[in-house]
Structure 1
């Protein structure tokens, strides 16, 4: 079933006026007609069934009905990532959103640019919105940063497990992913953390863990670890 991202106010009101690019995609490219059913989500965990009531030349009216499954994972994962190149950051956000990652906080590190580049958070928020509709989730990940390492403890205050992904560290096992509390995963940068940064992350409760013998790119490690945390902890 098609998922349409709307605002929380629109979902609460029970009626959505679809215009612009969303209208072109749904009612021109996808050729939805009056009577078609879809899911309405608000990006904040709300989901309702929707029905197309009327289709005009430039807009369509959708009425919200009963609550729908959110499809959000029960286990909360928070990513702390030193920004890769803009195209790779987009890929990371897309896949993390599809998986249901709760938040992606970009970290400023000594060996990585302090700016996101390529349109920054606004561009990445658009990527996340499209990925949410594609995957059918109901909650957008919170995107923020870049943050200094001094802010890390506050960013992961509700995370019981805090793993620092590092090549050469002891490989993560089942015990690292089990439990009901939220998981924080720190990843990057491409040049590696400095000794001072590693010490500061350790002081914030992060335990170094590896993902096998190969050296993974930032985005690969982030998505792989997120999938492990979400699916293993949810069992």
Structure 2
């Protein structure tokens, strides 16, 4: 069943008023009619099974049939701090990372980051990133829309590390095995830091360690930056029983 995110203030007296871009999608793409059902999620962990009552050019009014907790949210809250990659790789990471279960994305620039975003284009880029994440969250039945932060500098990322409960920096030249780090970490909030195509410098790794990050290794094979973030995220959530790792 089609799923749409709404804000809690769009729910009133067992009625939901859908506005914005979703109106076009429901009316013209899905060709929905009164009596059709859909699911609305308030972004705070509640799903509303609703029936369309009225369609207007600017809004769609629905009647709430049932309210239930969202089931698509992992207990482990992983933020992917991703050095800006070339091309459209970040968009791929945002989409697939949302599907897998990341709760936040923090793009950053480091010494070997090739991509430089023109400050005049930052707003447009950020809007696109947020749209990609929203659509991926709807498709994958998430209970929230993951946050996409605006790109930060390396120094700003170091401050994020200092305030993080658990921070890991993926380092191709060695580190603690990811499985060991997972076994030792009690926190359900993890900051996962992934470098650019050229990797981190030794100085950056040392600075990250000084700020509180633990270098981790993802194995003997060298992974592309877009592979590393998604592979590590999958391993973390699987180990924490948030991705099909449940046992009887």
Structure 1 length-normalised TM: 0.86
Which residue pairs with 1:163 in the alignment? Answer: 168
Corresponding residue pairs, total: 235
* Structure 1 runs not aligned, ≥5 long: none
More displaced, 117-126 or 99-108?
117-126
Q: Is the 8 A contact 2:168 2:213 kept in 1?
A: yes
1:177-216 → structure 2 map (5 Å cutoff): 177-178=182-183, 179-216=186-223
Secondary structure of 2:43's counterpart equals coil
- RMSD across aligned positions (CA): 2.6
More displaced, 170-179 or 98-107?
170-179
Q: Is the 8 A contact 2:48 2:65 kept in 1?
A: yes
Secondary structure of 2:16's counterpart equals strand
Which residue pairs with 1:26 in the alignment? Answer: 26
Which residue pairs with 1:4 in the alignment? Answer: 4
Deviations 1:118-139 (A, max 9, x none): 8321110010111111111121
Which residue pairs with 1:41 in the alignment? Answer: 41
| Residue 143 of structure 2 is aligned to residue 128 of structure 1 | no
Q: Is the 8 A contact 1:5 1:42 kept in 2?
A: yes
Name the CA distance, whole Å, in 2 between partners of 1:154 and 1:109: 14
| Residue 63 of structure 2 is aligned to residue 63 of structure 1 | yes
Secondary structure of 1:146's counterpart equals coil
Secondary structure of 1:147's counterpart equals coil
More displaced, 66-75 or 52-61?
52-61
Name the CA distance, whole Å, in 2 between partners of 1:93 and 1:142: 10
Structure 2 length-normalised TM: 0.82
Secondary structure of 2:145's counterpart equals coil
Q: Is the 8 A contact 2:6 2:18 kept in 1?
A: no
Q: For residue 3 of structure 1, report the CA deviation from its aligned partner.
A: 0.9
Name the CA distance, whole Å, in 1 between partners of 2:140 and 2:240: 20
